[in-house]
Copies of this chain bind each other. A is one copy, B any other.
Amino acid sequence: MASDWGQFLHLQIFGESHGPGIGVVMEGLPAGEQIDLPALQEFLRRRAPGQGKYATTRKETDAPEFLSGLLDGCTTGSPLTALIRNSDTRSSDYAALRDVPRPGHADYSAEKRYHGAQDGRGGGHFSGRLTAPLCVAGGIAKQILERRGIYVGAHLASVGAVHDRSFEPVSLTVQELLAPGKASFPVLDPAAGEAMQQAIQEALAQQDSLGGRIEAAALGVPAGWGSPIFAGVENRLAAILFGIPAVRGIEFGYGMAAAELRGSEHNDPFTIDAAGAVRTVSNHHGGILGGITTGMPIIVKLAIKPTPSIAREQASVSLSAKAPAVLAVRGRHDPCIAPRAVPVVEAALAVALLDLALEAKTYQN
């Protein structure tokens, strides 16, 4: 439809940034799954604003209330609904933006889409805040997947020109996969993390913002998941990952750079490992061939554009006056949204993998 996703595990996201609340309805969850609510809250904390040196100072605990689908912490199999109340909203910050759309934001395109009826306060339904319910869904999916031996993790691959090292595509371990999520800054290499934070601080000092890249991976996914053509793993991951605001590109395996290789370089030779399992020697294919998993680590990268809300003056237009206007965005904004997007990417990946897992049950013997 639009703010929903998934055929086997179905999410319906709702809410506006400065409305009463935001949330998600999940349908298709297996019944009888015990959810560790403190662990879920800890996962949500990784996305929550207001905690870092350089992050937005908007404070929100993002503690979901479960309206349905959970009984004594256990999934009932009926739609699970989580509601996060909005609070600490300062809509007056956004009052002037109605007429003068912010460059890089959905203000103008939403105005045309909804004929002016949209709730534009704080970005409304287009706000990055809507990733909080996605994280609730993903945090639940992660727990269910881990119980089945499937692990999802991500790290900040770059901020501006500063790069973290990459996940090891063939021999990635669960420990390495989960390490960035446990670190104070979501990177593999702490020195890179320090340099990234430094770069963010510099951008902020110049009333500017920075973009970044995220690399995510999944371990434990068996070979044979996914469906052909339009329901391949890439199609479904991309369809959910582009639901994260500010994502501008998505790559699987060797990604865009695959275009520069020869077949003899890019092809991953098959081999039999010590346990008798089929593996590939390299993993340029990122765990997916023909849209179907191969049993190798799934690897996806995406680019997050620099936060469009910056304090310095920008050129825009007055829609009412049909004339140029200058705008300086006030309000509280992360100078780089990518660090907080890391758990969101994990969440989206986990939701997609649980959807794939449920589908796989339909065709397994």
Contact = CB atoms under 8 A, between A and B. Distances in A.
Contacts of A4: 4, 10, 12, 27, 230
A226 to B, nearest CB: 7
A3 to B, nearest CB: 4
Contacts of A271: 315, 317, 324
Contacts of A54: none
Contacts of A27: 1-4, 12
A322 B271 CA distance: 9
Determine which residue in A74, A247, A301 has the highest number of CB atoms from chain B within 10 A of its CB, and name it. A247
A76 B124 contact: yes
Interface in A106-131: 106, 108-119, 124-126, 130
Interface string A58-80: 00000001111101001111111
Contacts of A272: 317, 322-324
A144 interface: no
Determine which residue in A228, A231, A322 has the highest number of CB atoms from chain B within 10 A of its CB, and name it. A228
A236 B108 CA distance: 20
A289 B107 CA distance: 8
A190 interface: no
Interface stretch (A42-50, A177-185, A278-286): A278-286
A269 interface: yes
A249 interface: yes
Nearest to A276: B322
Contacts of A270: 101, 103, 108, 315-317
A16 B160 contact: no
A78 B280 contact: no
Interface residues on A, range: 35 or more
A28 B305 CA distance: 29
B103 A267 contact: yes
Given A272-B324, A317-B272, A249 B248 contact: no
A19 interface: yes
A229 B243 contact: yes
Contacts of A83: 67, 83
A285 to B, nearest CB: 7
Interface string A8-19: 101111111001
B115 A307 contact: no
A67 B19 contact: yes
Contact of A3 (B79, B209, B258): B79
Given A2-B227, A238-B238, A268-B103, A211 B324 contact: no
A14 B5 contact: no
Given A76-B114, A232-B243, A271-B324, 6 more contacts: A2-B27, A4-B230, A5-B230, A14-B80, A203-B263, A269-B316
8 contacts: A2-B229, A103-B268, A110-B292, A159-B259, A210-B262, A267-B306, A269-B315, A271-B317
